[in-house]
Structure 1
Amino acid sequence: MRALDLLNERIVRCSRCPRLVAYREAVARVKRRQFRNWTYWGRPVPGFGDPDARLYVLGLAPAAHGGNRTGRVFTGDRSGDWLYEALYKFGFANQPTSIHRNDGLRLRDCYIGATVRCAPPGNKPLPEEFDNCQPYMVEELRLLARVRVVVALGKIAFDRYLKACGDLGHRIPSPSPVFGHGLSYPLPWGVTLIGSYHPSQQNTFTGKLTRRMFHSVFRQARRRLDQR
């Protein structure tokens, strides 16, 4: 069995954060009316994608009625609608939608992770919950040895990626890269880090993030990979 599969099995069994365990399980029991016929996943959500990926996309955490319902990261919510449409447009996915775990979606040269693997109340993990989940991201990055471009969705993911790289023994540049939408940083260990606003409804409904802006990030990722 692939090492990533073993890691994902450990993630799914995790119960390190009592607050998150209680919340994700309560959501899975109560459900949302429109999903009352679903059997919710209700567990930590593992990473997903191509184990030989050169593109790594890092999000914040599963949505209560998205990944926590479907069991796949960025699946079944509007953030995922934006993400998978963009990945498809630039050749990183075989289809533009992600509805459930068995919908035929395959990622190409792309892997998706999250800074926290359980849905948090209010979509706001606590500092200790980030820290409890950090070893999973560190191990995931260690195993994804071919990654050359990282797209961080939001400032938290951007900063957490850099922290994970420090944990892996990489020397973080000084001054440290600063998050901004579309800003990219070639890092000393051969990875380019690109910041993007998160495709949350708060950002997309207000126009802080437009399709054109979001596409520009993945166009940049594709261009950098094609140049290698």
Structure 2
Amino acid sequence: MKSITTLNKKIARCKKCPRLSVYIRDVAKNKVRRFKEEKYYGKPLSGFGDIKAKLLIVGLAPAAHGGNRTGRMFTGDSSGDWLAKAMYKHGFASIPTSQTADDGLILYNAYITAAVRCAPPQNKPTKEEMNACFGYLEQEKEILKNITVILCLGKIAYDATCKLYNVKSEKFGHNKLFTYDGFQILTSYHPSKQNTQTGRLTWDQWSAVFAKAKKLTK
């Protein structure tokens, strides 16, 4: 616990990327109308969950008015709702919602992180920003010693994971499984509104990924 706590404090203080540092502070100050009465977190986000987990879930980055507001990844937005609901259904979470950082959500045998720790403008981090954040993923990998399955939400997360485990990336697609010596990589479309509201990612397709992850981590 001491090592993950130390790492998370280091992440919260990070200002490696000037563009992202300015952006998340600006978003936290100039809030959208629906959250104008709330205090935004406005700092880089660490991962969270069970440090003894077998399942590592890797996303793209915090949402400007989701994680950047609440202080926890996949929390306070529609992507977080989809993730929590599926994780609860398949036994990875204590409750089916993810609204605030103190809502009592507990993860079982799963840890959530992201390729980039600050919300990027238009959800598009630069290559340099992704490289600057990569060391945090490496440190998490060293701490989370029981990981056997990595679920990548979107291609950026998949590319970061392939780099992390030093394996060649394959053609990205939904619900694909790649098996290596000692670990497996499972891929999914990201549960963003762009995917869920257009029908590119249906609930049944999304739930099937977690059903597979559950079998793989027993």
TM-score bucket of the superposed structures, by smaller chain: over 0.9
Give 1:141 shift.
1.1
The answer on 1:132 being equivalent to 2:132 is yes
Offset from partner CA, 1:27-53 (integer Å, 9 cap, x none): 000111111111100000110100101
Q: What is the CA–CA distance in structure 2 between the aligned matches of 1:162 and 1:88, rounded to whole Å?
A: 27
Instruction: State the aligned residue count.
Output: 218
Give matches, 1:98-117, under 5 Å: 98-117=98-117
The answer on 1:197 being equivalent to 2:197 is no
- For 2:197, the aligned partner's letter is F
The answer on 1:186 being equivalent to 2:179 is yes
Offset from partner CA, 1:104-142 (integer Å, 9 cap, x none): 110011000000000000110011000000000011111
Give matches, 1:83-162, under 5 Å: 83-162=83-162
Offset from partner CA, 1:54-104 (integer Å, 9 cap, x none): 100000000000000000000000000000100000000000101111111
Moved over 4 A (4+): none
Cα pair 1:138 1:165 within 8 Å, conserved:
no
Q: Give the secondary structure class of the aligned counterpart of 2:152.
A: strand
Q: Give the secondary structure class of the aligned counterpart of 1:192.
A: strand
Which of the numbers 197, 204, 216 marks the counterpart of 1:212?
204
- For 1:199, the aligned partner's letter is P
Give 1:177 shift.
3.0
TM-score, normalised to structure 1, is: 0.94
The answer on 1:9 being equivalent to 2:1 is no
Q: What is the CA–CA distance in structure 2 between the aligned matches of 1:178 and 1:222, rounded to whole Å?
A: 23
- For 1:62, the aligned partner's letter is P
Offset from partner CA, 1:155-187 (integer Å, 9 cap, x none): 110111010112xxxxx25xx433211110111
Give 1:217 shift.
0.5
TM-score, normalised to structure 2, is: 0.98
Structure 2: segments with no counterpart, 5+ residues? none
Q: Give the secondary structure class of the aligned counterpart of 1:95.
A: coil
Question: Identity percentage over the alignment?
Answer: 49
Offset from partner CA, 1:15-34 (integer Å, 9 cap, x none): 00000011000000011111
- For 1:47, the aligned partner's letter is G
Alignment root-mean-square deviation, CA: 0.9
Q: Give the secondary structure class of the aligned counterpart of 1:206.
A: coil
Q: What is the CA–CA distance in structure 1 between the aligned matches of 2:38 and 2:184, rounded to whole Å?
A: 39
